[in-house]
Chains A and B, each alone.
Chain A
Amino acid sequence: MQNYLLSIVLFTPLAGMIALLFFPKENKTLIKVWTNLVMFVGFLVSVPLWFYYDRSSAEFQLVERAEWIPSIGARYIIGIDGISLLLVLLTTVIGFLSVLSSWSAIEDRVKEYYAFFLLLQTGMLGVFMSLDFFLFYVFWEVMLVPMYFIIGVWGGPRKLYAAIKFFLYTLFGSVLMLLGILALYFHYYTQFGTYTFEIAELMRMSIPLSLQKWVFWGFFVGFAIKVPMFPFHTWLPDAHVEAPTAGSVILAGVLLKMGTYGFVRFSLPLLPDASKDSTTIQVIAWLSIIGIVYGALVSLMQKDWKKLVAYSSVSHLGFCTLGIIALNPNGLSGSILQQINHGISTGMLFLIVGIAYERRHTREISEYGGLSNVMPAYSVVFAIAMLSSAGLPLLNGFIGEFTILQGAFEVSKTWAAFAVSGIVLGAAYLLWLYQRTMFGPITNSKNEKLSDLNLREWAYMLPLVVWAFWIGVYPKPYFEILEKPVAKIVKRIQPDYYRARGLRDPLPAPVPVAAARPTP
């Protein structure tokens, strides 16, 4: 059973979707119950991954291989390491909770909606688990279509514009990424004589710097659009604002992590020389810092609640990309942990917006005000979500932010100084938002009779609240999971990072940097 655990996790949602196709579309309750059940089961089967994962190894675990298309060298290979383990768990949790949150929000074409969500779930899990580039690309593209429909069919007033913008923009990036993949694919052939998409094999190549740079920037466009990094971020506000609540939650919670995951999993280990090239570092670092500050400032002046949270994602993920380009253990592990944290805290914030939207059907901040008078439990949960996003110590955001700052600081004190301003600005827009929506007397009579959190809403907010506190108070298990995979990546880029600083090396065995050209 353990041998196939990953496939089970991966295909449970898909199996659920196929079964769903046979259900009559009139029986909405059955569809909803079924989907929630499937997603919950999907979460349950992913829990054992936490326990089966061996923290003492940096290699990929629970690997499954099968031949798929031998003529082009594409195989079905899936496996996880510490990094993808955390992201897989994030996906199963957020996926389940966002489906749960759609219960009363979607009443129209219910069957299609839940079918798309299940398909999307498999796509996301596949991206994180794939160890074959072709498979990875397939899953990457599979994610786009359901998301397009979810925005385009069940979205807000400008849903078509937003959906098409999202789809084409990200597709453009994906195509450039594909070019990069193919470049690597063909280069491997010239070195080893066979065609393969397997990532472990591709890591054995020695790639000249010029090719590395081309591929890196090709990948960069694809990943940067996904993250999203400044200035490729403008699809995000529209997509988030127009998407239905659960769509926003899954978009912010999981889909945005694909970009950063791509950097960590592919750009850095496969193209180490391009990654540590000084131009690369400066460009990415400064784009990240601009993202942090710019995202926060723009957030501050938004009048649309969801757009505010959307821009805050740009700011938060600026921290994550800064951590990645620091190319050291603190930066990388902080970045990955912060990605999980962002999924939790921004996921919570979007759920919060959704709860308000379901009652009032407006996203204008000015329409609200004084809500804590009538919804006290909601205001507490919102406060926790807000503080988690702002990085208050004892909540998850602080741990990630601080670790990233530590990593950034090691490389450049200037970076850290600029990034730290994001902490101040973050508090500014969040607190102001909270005040405008929650505090003060009720100015709009439509807000007077709003109901507080119901049982279902508690059910999907509470796990995230608990998780936020868990990471904030006791982050050690997470850092343990990340230690070795992160060390492996760091050593690929800077082989004597640990030795040069006199630090304990988590991976004493030498990591293969790049194989020499095989003798013809």
Chain B
Amino acid sequence: MVTGTFLPLIWLIPLFPLAGAALMLLVGRRLDPQGTHGHGHGGGGKAIISILCPGAILAAFLFSLGAVLELAARPPVERSAEVIVFEWMPAIGAPWGFLLDPLSSVMVLVVTGVGFLIHVYAVGYMAHDGGYYRFFGYLNLFVFFMLMLVLANNYVLLFVGWEGVGLCSYLLIGFYFLRKPAGDAGNKAFLVNRIGDAAFILGILLMFAALGSVEFTRVNELLRSGRYAPEAAQWLPWIALCLFIGATGKSAQIPLYVWLPDAMEGPTPVSALIHAATMVTAGVYVVARSNALFVLAPDVMSLVAVIGAATAILAASIGLVQNDIKRVLAYSTVSQLGYMFLACGVGAFWVGIFHLYTHAFFKALLFLGSGSVIHALSGEQDMRKMGALKDKIPITFRTMFIGSLAIAGIPGLAGFFSKDEILWQTWSSQGGAHRFLYVIGIVTASFTAFYMWRLMNMTFYGTSRTPHEVEHHIHESPKVMTVPLMALAAGSVVAGWVGIPKVFHFPESWPSLEHWLAPVFAGSEAGVAAAGEHHSAAAEWGLMALSVALAAGGIWLARRMYHHKPELADGMEQKLKPLHTLLYNKYYIDEIYGALFVNGLAKGGGTLLSRFDAAVVDGGVNGAGWMTRFTSSLSIWWDTWIIDGSVRAGAFLVKLASYPVRVLQTGLVGSYALFIVLGVILMFGYYLWK
């Protein structure tokens, strides 16, 4: 029995945003009749929506906060509250059940907290767009599914949220559905995700077959205590692999990351919420939640780390040369997600979650900030047409500056603590390749600093490259947009302070995310922590200094190339044209996928099989029909001339023989009667004679 005021009711948390979404579905049109093409403000109805939908998220946040505080009041070993509402899918042992433990509490607070700020921002951002009620309906629906995902107590219910956020992502990416690229991007996102989902389902089925349960508590208990059947052991790596493939789809890692950059077609708040702070982190959450499983599959862990690192550097390299401000941030997100997987892959699960949490703040901030820039420039997204905005939109500038500092890993801000911890854990953990992964990580960090400062310089500094008509309208965003920016900026500064490295020797009582998450990762930390002890504090300081130096270097280089000497950038671009083209075109991966899978397998296969079906399979049926008709006409000939012929010949003979008798057929009743009588007399006479 779960005690407390909030804890027994955690199943309510997802229902707040669901109520908002349902209301929008049912009465949204009446509140805001401006459908798809809207201009200007809509009046009272819109105000109701503006209060209702963000309000639902706020309610969810406050409720979650209450629940988490109740949880925190308990001693660490008891910090797990599981509430089962009803039996949902008994065949696979999946109830409609919820679990609040340290891990899901971090997730739920991030989702609702950052989600609330983004909703508030969106009130301002979407004010001039049509489909206001639709947008907030979808956004609330998304938060509902995301909360189902993080609060579920079993993999199947998690999958409900998993696919649900995919659906909302599709709806929101394709929000401006009048544009074909938006619709295509939505499709791409859903389909690429679905490939991952198919693997995820196989993983769940494998898990149930091997371990007999899909509930987190039970599975983790079995795995940690080793009380699973020996035959099951060989399947554990496969389960982990399948779940990880699903995660690569949702969290945009190699090879299923291609949907994320295209997803920038959606409105900017969508990019912030879904593709930065929440949905894309679902994969990391799943890996972290399944830590007991992954540590029993070391090869898969290595794969996770390698893919994480590879994605990080690949995406960062593409981000170096993109010109669309949102695309840079999109690739940055993919890159940072790679870091999170790298952390999990080397066994530092809590660090992965730590980075997830800090990243939510500064990436949401950067996206919302870029939205503010785009809003100020009346829709311009190309950085080549920006510049010298820092005095014109000061609040946006300053908050984005803080966000960029955070992501680049400048000491004191959130990104520094989390990213550095990842790099340190990579270096110090077991495994030969881990040093190599560290190098990739540190190089990526320098790329990160570089492309962020390229972005900042091209957008805010230097001379203005915006056309005159746009320049006149440049204005700072309204408070409803800037206040969330400031809140997120504050978060980007302080969020990292819960993960201060031990070498700083802060007091034990200082809040530590590692301690908070310890019960969840107990047992998985063993391998990593032991290894970590062997390295000296000096090494840690040294590496820290190195990463800061590289970050500063990246910033300096970017400033030089894009602020002081813009010719340098163009010159480099010319000299390294092939490389530049390769990076600019994202290594042509989209084109390869398109040719191989979309046009090749799917459409090509579909066309081929349709023709096969019509010509061969159905041809067989039609052929059978033709054959039957042909045989039938043969039969007809035989029947008419041979069979019937003999019949007709017979008939002719009969006709011939009957001529004499026919004459008697006069057709007159009287003559027939005469014959009857004559016959009777004859008969009579015969008998009389006898």
Q: Do chains A and B touch in the complex (CB under 8 A)?
A: yes
Q: Which residues of A contact B (CB under 8 A)?
A: 165, 168-169, 230-231, 233-235, 294, 297-302, 329-330, 333-334, 370, 372-373, 376, 380, 387, 392-394, 398-399, 402-403, 405-406, 409-410, 413, 416-417, 420-421, 423-425, 427-428, 431-432, 435, 438-441, 473-476, 479
Q: Which of A330, A402, A421 has the most CB of B within 10 A?
A: A402
B617 and A432 form a contact (CB under 8 A): no
Tell whether B164 is near chain A: CB-to-CB under 8 Å: yes
Tell whether B91 is near chain A: CB-to-CB under 8 Å: yes
Residue numbers in B under 8 Å from A235 (CB-CB): 621
Please measure, in the bound complex, the distance between the C-alpha atom of A299 and the C-alpha atom of B156, giving whole angstroms.
Answer: 29
A165 and B621 form a contact (CB under 8 A): yes
Chain A residue at smallest Cβ distance from B209: A409
Please measure, in the bound complex, the distance between the C-alpha atom of A181 and the C-alpha atom of B438, giving whole angstroms.
Answer: 72
Q: Quick one: which of A393, A402, A440, A474 contacts B164, CB cutoff 8 A? A: A393
How far is the CB of A512 from the nearest CB of chain B, in Å? 27
Residue numbers in A under 8 Å from B570 (CB-CB): none
B25 and A373 form a contact (CB under 8 A): no
Please measure, in the bound complex, the distance between the C-alpha atom of A431 and the C-alpha atom of B191, giving whole angstroms.
Answer: 9
Please measure, in the bound complex, the distance between the C-alpha atom of A441 and the C-alpha atom of B191, giving whole angstroms.
Answer: 23
B621 and A440 form a contact (CB under 8 A): no
Q: A234-B613, A424-B194, A439-B183 are in contact. Are A405 and B205 (CB under 8 A)?
A: yes
B160 and A393 form a contact (CB under 8 A): yes
Please measure, in the bound complex, the distance between the C-alpha atom of A390 and the C-alpha atom of B157, giving whole angstroms.
Answer: 18
Q: Quick one: which of B92, B167, B198, B605 contacts A420, CB cutoff 8 A? A: B198
B194 and A394 form a contact (CB under 8 A): no
Tell whether B526 is near chain A: CB-to-CB under 8 Å: no
Residue numbers in B under 8 Å from A410 (CB-CB): 209
Residue numbers in A under 8 Å from B209 (CB-CB): 409-410
A421 and B617 form a contact (CB under 8 A): no
Q: Quick one: which of B195, B206, B610 contacts A298, CB cutoff 8 A? A: B610
B618 and A234 form a contact (CB under 8 A): yes
A–B complex contacts, Cβ < 8 Å, 12 sampled: A165-B621, A169-B621, A231-B617, A294-B609, A333-B91, A373-B178, A380-B25, A398-B160, A409-B209, A438-B177, A439-B180, A440-B179
Residue numbers in A under 8 Å from B609 (CB-CB): 294, 297-298, 301
Tell whether B682 is near chain A: CB-to-CB under 8 Å: no
Residue numbers in A under 8 Å from B92 (CB-CB): 402-403, 406
Q: A298-B609, A476-B88 are in contact. Are A439 and B174 (CB under 8 A)?
A: yes
Kindly list 15 other residue pairs between chains A and B, CB separation below 8 angstroms, not including A373-B36, A424-B194, A427-B194: A301-B609, A392-B163, A394-B164, A402-B156, A403-B89, A405-B205, A406-B208, A416-B202, A435-B183, A435-B184, A438-B177, A440-B177, A475-B89, A476-B88, A479-B90
Tell whether B41 is near chain A: CB-to-CB under 8 Å: no
B606 and A423 form a contact (CB under 8 A): no
Chain A residue at smallest Cβ distance from B184: A435
Residue numbers in A under 8 Å from B167 (CB-CB): 387, 392
A441 and B90 form a contact (CB under 8 A): no
Residue numbers in B under 8 Å from A298 (CB-CB): 606, 609-610, 613
Residue numbers in B under 8 Å from A233 (CB-CB): 617
Please measure, in the bound complex, the distance between the C-alpha atom of A26 and the C-alpha atom of B322, giving whole angstroms.
Answer: 71
- Size of the B side of the interface (Cβ < 8 Å), in residues, is 53
Residue numbers in A under 8 Å from B180 (CB-CB): 439-440
Residue numbers in A under 8 Å from B90 (CB-CB): 476, 479
Q: Quick one: which of B197, B605, B625 contacts A423, CB cutoff 8 A? A: B197
Contact with A along B201-236 (1 / 0, CB 8 A): 110011011000000000000000000000000000
A439 and B87 form a contact (CB under 8 A): no
Please measure, in the bound complex, the distance between the C-alpha atom of A416 and the C-alpha atom of B187, giving whole angstroms.
Answer: 25
B194 and A402 form a contact (CB under 8 A): no
Q: Quick one: which of B164, B191, B202, B613 contacts A428, CB cutoff 8 A? A: B191
Q: A330-B91, A402-B156, A439-B183 are in contact. Are A372 and B197 (CB under 8 A)?
A: no
Tell whether B584 is near chain A: CB-to-CB under 8 Å: no
A439 and B159 form a contact (CB under 8 A): no
Please measure, in the bound complex, the distance between the C-alpha atom of A416 and the C-alpha atom of B160, giving whole angstroms.
Answer: 19
Chain B residue at smallest Cβ distance from A387: B167
A297 and B606 form a contact (CB under 8 A): yes
Residue numbers in B under 8 Å from A402 (CB-CB): 89, 92, 156, 201
Tell whether B35 is near chain A: CB-to-CB under 8 Å: yes
Please measure, in the bound complex, the distance between the C-alpha atom of A475 and the C-alpha atom of B36, giving whole angstroms.
Answer: 36
Please measure, in the bound complex, the distance between the C-alpha atom of A330 and the C-alpha atom of B209, giving whole angstroms.
Answer: 13
Please measure, in the bound complex, the distance between the C-alpha atom of A399 and the C-alpha atom of B163, giving whole angstroms.
Answer: 13
Chain B residue at smallest Cβ distance from A231: B617
Tell whether B170 is near chain A: CB-to-CB under 8 Å: yes
Residue numbers in B under 8 Å from A399 (CB-CB): 89
Please measure, in the bound complex, the distance between the C-alpha atom of A427 and the C-alpha atom of B170, giving whole angstroms.
Answer: 12
How far is the CB of A424 from the nearest CB of chain B, in Å? 5
Please measure, in the bound complex, the distance between the C-alpha atom of A436 and the C-alpha atom of B201, giving whole angstroms.
Answer: 29
Q: Quick one: which of B91, B191, B605 contacts A427, CB cutoff 8 A? A: B191
How far is the CB of B110 from the nearest CB of chain A, in Å? 23
B201 and A432 form a contact (CB under 8 A): no
Q: A393-B164, A394-B164, A431-B170 are in contact. Are A421 and B198 (CB under 8 A)?
A: yes
How far is the CB of B205 from the nearest CB of chain A, in Å? 4
How far is the CB of A326 from the nearest CB of chain B, in Å? 12
Please measure, in the bound complex, the distance between the C-alpha atom of A303 and the C-alpha atom of B20, giving whole angstroms.
Answer: 38
How far is the CB of A354 from the nearest CB of chain B, in Å? 23
Contact with A along B612-640 (1 / 0, CB 8 A): 01000110110001000000000000000
Tell whether B602 is near chain A: CB-to-CB under 8 Å: yes
Q: A298-B609, A302-B610, A392-B164 are in contact. Are A423 and B621 (CB under 8 A)?
A: no
Contact with A along B151-194 (1 / 0, CB 8 A): 00000100110011001001000100111100110110011001
Chain A residue at smallest Cβ distance from B92: A406
Please measure, in the bound complex, the distance between the C-alpha atom of A371 and the C-alpha atom of B89, giving whole angstroms.
Answer: 37
Chain A residue at smallest Cβ distance from B614: A234
How far is the CB of A245 from the nearest CB of chain B, in Å? 23
Please measure, in the bound complex, the distance between the C-alpha atom of A191 and the C-alpha atom of B248, giving whole angstroms.
Answer: 62
Q: A300-B606, A428-B602 are in contact. Are A474 and B88 (CB under 8 A)?
A: yes
Contact with A along B77-91 (1 / 0, CB 8 A): 000000000111111
Q: Quick one: which of A300, A398, A417, A440 contacts B602, CB cutoff 8 A? A: A300
Residue numbers in B under 8 Å from A479 (CB-CB): 90-91
Q: Which of B282-308 contact A (CB under 8 A)?
A: none
Residue numbers in B under 8 Å from A334 (CB-CB): 91
Chain B residue at smallest Cβ distance from A238: B618
Tell whether B435 is near chain A: CB-to-CB under 8 Å: no
Please measure, in the bound complex, the distance between the C-alpha atom of A416 and the C-alpha atom of B156, giving whole angstroms.
Answer: 17
5 smallest A-B Cβ distances: which pairs? A301-B606, A393-B160, A300-B606, A234-B618, A439-B183
Please measure, in the bound complex, the distance between the C-alpha atom of A394 and the C-alpha atom of B164, giving whole angstroms.
Answer: 9
Tell whether B603 is near chain A: CB-to-CB under 8 Å: yes
Contact with A along B118-162 (1 / 0, CB 8 A): 000000000000000000000000000000000000001001100
Chain B residue at smallest Cβ distance from A314: B613
B198 and A424 form a contact (CB under 8 A): yes
B160 and A435 form a contact (CB under 8 A): no
Chain A residue at smallest Cβ distance from B177: A439
How far is the CB of B630 from the nearest CB of chain A, in Å? 16
Residue numbers in A under 8 Å from B87 (CB-CB): 476
Tell whether B607 is near chain A: CB-to-CB under 8 Å: yes
Residue numbers in A under 8 Å from B198 (CB-CB): 420-421, 423-424
Please measure, in the bound complex, the distance between the C-alpha atom of A423 and the C-alpha atom of B201, giving whole angstroms.
Answer: 10
Residue numbers in B under 8 Å from A413 (CB-CB): 202, 206
A406 and B91 form a contact (CB under 8 A): yes
Chain B residue at smallest Cβ distance from A297: B606
Q: A234-B617, A431-B170, A431-B187 are in contact. Are A425 and B177 (CB under 8 A)?
A: no
Q: Which of B36, B191, B198, B199 has the most CB of A within 10 A?
A: B198
Residue numbers in B under 8 Å from A373 (CB-CB): 35-36, 178
Tell whether B398 is near chain A: CB-to-CB under 8 Å: no
How far is the CB of A426 from the nearest CB of chain B, in Å? 9
Q: Which of B560-613 contact A (CB under 8 A)?
A: 602-603, 605-607, 609-610, 613
How far is the CB of A443 from the nearest CB of chain B, in Å? 10
How far is the CB of B91 from the nearest CB of chain A, in Å? 5
Please measure, in the bound complex, the distance between the C-alpha atom of A475 and the C-alpha atom of B91, giving whole angstroms.
Answer: 11
How far is the CB of A327 from the nearest CB of chain B, in Å? 15
